C-alpha cells in the first residue's frame, strides 16, 4: 500500500476530480482525476487510482492507471500491474516487470561522440 507521509493530500477512492489539481505538497490519488495535475511534490497513483491527465510533478509512482503525458523533474516509477499510456520526460524512469507502458521516454542520454555521427 502507498505510504502516506504527513502533509499528503489524498483524493479518496470515491472522489472524482475534473480540472487541474495543483499544489505544493504530496498527493495520493486513490480515486479519479481528469484534467491536469501540477504538483511541486510527489504524486502517488494508488492501485485503484485512475488519472486521465497531463502531469507536471517532481516525482510520481504509478500503481494504478495514467493516461496522459508525464513531465517529472526527478523520477517516474511504473510499478507492476500499473498501466501508463503517454509520453514521459524525466531524468529517471523506472518501469518494473509487469507494468504496462505505451508511449515515449525522453531521458538525458549521453552517448560517446563517435556513435552520434550520422545519428539524429
Partner 1 sequence: MPPSTTIGPTLHVRGRILGEEDLRIEGRVDGAIELSETLIVEESGIVVAEVQARDVVVRGIVVGNVTATDSVTLDAGAKLMGDIEAPRVILADGAAFKGSVKVTGAAPRPRARTSAGAKANRSRASAIPRVRAARPEAPVPEQDEPTVVVRRKDVQAAGRGETKAAKKAPPRPAPASAGKATKKKAAKKKVRPKVPSRKKRKVSRR
Determine the Cα–Cα distance for residues 71 and 116; give it in Å rounded to an integer: 26
The answer to whether 103 contacts partner 1 (rule: CB under 8 A) is yes
35 lines the binding site for partner 1 (CB under 8 A): yes
Over the window 83 to 102, marking each residue x when it contacts partner 1 by CB under 8 A and - when it does not, the resulting string is x--------xxxxxxx-xxx
State yes or no: residue 2 binds partner 1 (CB under 8 A): no
Q: Which three cell numbers stand for residue 71?
A: 513531465
HSE-up (13 A, CA, CB side) for residue 40? 2
Interaction of residue 15 with partner 1, rule CB under 8 A: yes
Our measurement of the distance from residue 41's CA atom to the centroid of its chain's CA atoms, rounded to an integer in Å, reads 12
Whole-angstrom Cα distance, residue 46 to residue 61?
Answer: 8
> SS3 for 76?
strand
Examine residue 65 and tell whether it contacts partner 1 (CB under 8 A): yes
Q: Does 58 bind partner 1 (CB under 8 A)?
A: no
Q: Which residues bind partner 1 (CB under 8 A)?
A: 7, 9-25, 31-32, 34-36, 48, 50, 52, 54, 64-65, 67, 81, 83, 92-98, 100-112, 115, 119-120
Amino acid at each position: 500500500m502507498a505510504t502516506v507521509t504527513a502533509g499528503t493530500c489524498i483524493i479518496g477512492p470515491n472522489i472524482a476530480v475534473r480540472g487541474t489539481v495543483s499544489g505544493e505538497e504530496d498527493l495520493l490519488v486513490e480515486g479519479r482525476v481528469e484534467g491536469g495535475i501540477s504538483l511541486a511534490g510527489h504524486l502517488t497513483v494508488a492501485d485503484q487510482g485512475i488519472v486521465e491527465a497531463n502531469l507536471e510533478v517532481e516525482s510520481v509512482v504509478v500503481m494504478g492507471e495514467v493516461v496522459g503525458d508525464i513531465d517529472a523533474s526527478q523520477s517516474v516509477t511504473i510499478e507492476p500491474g500499473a498501466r501508463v499510456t503517454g509520453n514521459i520526460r524525466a531524468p529517471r524512469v523506472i518501469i518494473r516487470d509487469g507494468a504496462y507502458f505505451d508511449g515515449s521516454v525522453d531521458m538525458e542520454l549521453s552517448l560517446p561522440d563517435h556513435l552520434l555521427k550520422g545519428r539524429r
